[in-house]
Amino acid sequence: TPPELIRNFCIIAHIDHGKSTLADRMLQITGVVSDRDMRAQYLDRMDIERERGITIKSQAVRMPWSTAEGTFALNMIDTPGHVDFTYEVSRSLAACEGAILLVDAAQGIEAQTLANLYLALENDLQIIPVLNKIDLPAADPEKYAKELAGLIGGKPEDVLRVSGKTGMGVEELLDHVVAQIPPPKGDPDAPSRAMIFDSVYDAYRGVITYVRMVDGSLKPRERIQMMSTRAVHELLEIGVSSPEPTPTKGLGVGEVGYLITGVKDVRQSKVGDTVTNAQKPSSKPLPGYTDPKPMVFSGLYPIDGSDYPVLRDALDKLKLSDASLNYEPETSVALGFGFRCGFLGLLHLEIVTERLEREFGLDLISTAPSVTYEVVTDDKKSFTVTNPSEFPSGTKIASVTEPMVKAAILAPKDYVGTIMELCQSRRGTLLGMEYLGEDRVEIRYSMPLGEIVFDFFDHLKSKTAGYASLDYEPSGDQEADLVKVDILLQGEPVDAFSAIVHRDKAYAYGVLMTERLKKLIPRQQFEVPIQAAIGARIIARESIRAMRKDVLAKCYGGDISRKRKLLEKQKEGKKRMKMVGRVEVPQEAFIAALSGD
């Protein structure tokens, strides 16, 4: 297809504003999916994928659309909606010339609407503002058209109104895509360059790489090179999804499609990388490539220690399809053998633990999420800490820096006070505040990421009756007065409970954990002190009083079988006990203390 007849676009929206439903309707209206095959959420088939163990998900779909000007190829590129995947979103956007900015006509603009809009503007995309769900009785298109026009400029009348559910306005929207979004530009005679905007692992075919051709062309059987690693592969298949993968004779300037080389690990085909021809390579990779950097770390441990090998295999398998997952073995006094894992953010952590539990049948406990700290000691040694128990305690610390984020919170104006209080309590600094329309406010804060990963979102939601939405982006490191609080049982530190907190919050953390553990740990034969400490200084203390635990005392000698049963039971209980120094702690107590139950 010549570039003049191509339009590359994506749909950007806040979660639940109806992106998948609209995408489905477009597939149906353009005829690439027949009405008979149409199921809800054609593109969003993660569950079916899991059940069948095959990848049928399509990251980009090609749809024909005819207007008076001719028949166009519309490439709709899917973007992940969540903040954790900002980098992936920005690469998907870089593959497009335009974006449909979709907003629920009953909800208005939300935090992810803005975050995605800013990314789209950074990538110079043509924006088509659209209100969705106008069939809803609660829809207020007049009000939100004004809000949207106020945000991106233009007139409220120019904001399109559609219903992904009924199909109303969708044909008109496709005409606007053709008319408003510019065709792709590129040099057909230059050495070939294609940008990878997604790569997906498929159990049968290996990695499927989604690319947008920028210059030149790629053809089957050619040898191609990944510019970041210089690795060379043979192009086994190249094609377009419409929506099932369909091999073609190649891809030219502006086209969007997939390629298969037989590599087995998505790390060999990285999002953002440039693909070129190995015989006639380009000398300049496309801009914007970075390696995904984990932001949030947590220890993952199998509740049943004998599941450790299963966990290791499961992580190895997940890594094939998730280039941003990092892990290395780790042992803990409290939890045994496990892995320290690095994630892009909290949602990524949740997705991975859920997949490990669902797809591999594991029962896992995860330690409190931590961020990356840079520590410099008095003798000028510096190191990176991702696990609080590795934070130096003996040495003198000159400085500690922590990652900061710029957070944007959108909420109805009545909640401004509550939100500011919450952000202040999380060491936030107000950056600015703006009204979007009459009753909605955007509040911007600079905050430590470490405060956000610690149940900030849950608090925000519960304090605003679910109305607030949050988005954030990394904004560098900043020095802070941070200390490590250790929790000791009979003088022995329990690694899984060490935490890095601001000095002002150390006492509160110490009291919380010592009280929690006192309730959870059963009495022993001797008194057990539970202490919280910063270095050698004790900041909080509880103790569990001694108890003589003689299970046979009640049995008055007589009934042997009852005695044996009791002994048996006691042994059973012992198996799940962990020793911390001389103290026996049931593993459930650690788990309960970590999950805050």
Which has the closest alpha carbon to 291: 257, 325, 316, 243?
325
Minimum CB–partner distance for residue 26 and ligand GTP (Å): 12
Q: Based on CB atoms, which residue is closest to ligand GTP, 136 or 436?
A: 136
C-beta closer to ligand GTP: residue 140 or 304: 140
18 marked as part of a ligand binding site: yes
Nearest distance, CB of residue 39 and ligand GTP, angstroms: 13
Q: Least distance from C-beta 14 to ligand GTP, angstroms?
A: 7
Smaller CB distance to ligand GTP: residue 108 or 294? 108
Cα separation, 543 vs 197, whole angstroms: 56
- Minimum distance of ligand GTP from residue 130's CB (angstroms): 11
Amino acid at 514: T
Identify the helix (H) or strand (E) that includes residue 429.
strand 429-436
Q: Is 134 annotated as a binding residue?
A: yes
409 is in an annotated binding site: no
Angle of CA points 507, 511, 513, to nearest 5° = 115
Least distance to ligand GTP, CB of residue 549, Å: 52
Residues within the interface to ligand GTP (CB under 6 A): 13, 15-21, 44, 81, 132-133, 135-136, 163-165
Query: What's the rounded Cα separation, in Å, for the pair 12 and 21?
Result: 13
User: Is 132 labelled a binding residue?
Assistant: yes
Q: Which is nearer to ligand GTP, 164 or 428 (CB)?
A: 164
Determine the residue type at 191.
P
Residue 359, token pair as written in the block: 């797809």
Q: Does 518 count as an annotated binding residue?
A: no
Query: Is 538 annotated in some ligand binding site?
Result: no
For ligand GTP, the closer of residues 43 and 240 by Cβ is 43
Q: Is 384 exposed, middle or buried (0-12, 13-18, 19+ CB in 10 A)?
A: exposed
Both tokens of 434, joined, read: 């703006």
Specify the residue, 21 or 367, whose C-beta has the smaller distance to ligand GTP. Answer: 21
Give the integer Cα–Cα distance in Å for 391 and 450: 15
Task: Dig out the tokens for 566 from the structure.
Answer: 């009791």
* 428: Cβ contacts below 8 Å, ≥ 6 apart: 407, 445, 446, 447, 451
Q: Which residues pair with 327 in a beta bridge?
A: 341
Give the contacts of 489 (CB within 8 A, at least 6 positions apart). 517, 521, 528, 529, 530, 580, 581, 583, 585
CB of 162 to ligand GTP, least distance (A): 7
3-state DSSP call for residue 315?
Answer: helix
Q: Rounded CA gap, 155 and 153, in Å?
A: 7
Residues 6+ apart with CB under 8 A from 519: none
Closer of 105 and 334 to ligand GTP (Cβ): 105
175 is in an annotated binding site: no
Least Å from the CB of residue 81 to ligand GTP: 5
What residue numbers does the annotated binding site for GTP cover?
16-21, 132-135
Binding residues: 16-21, 132-135
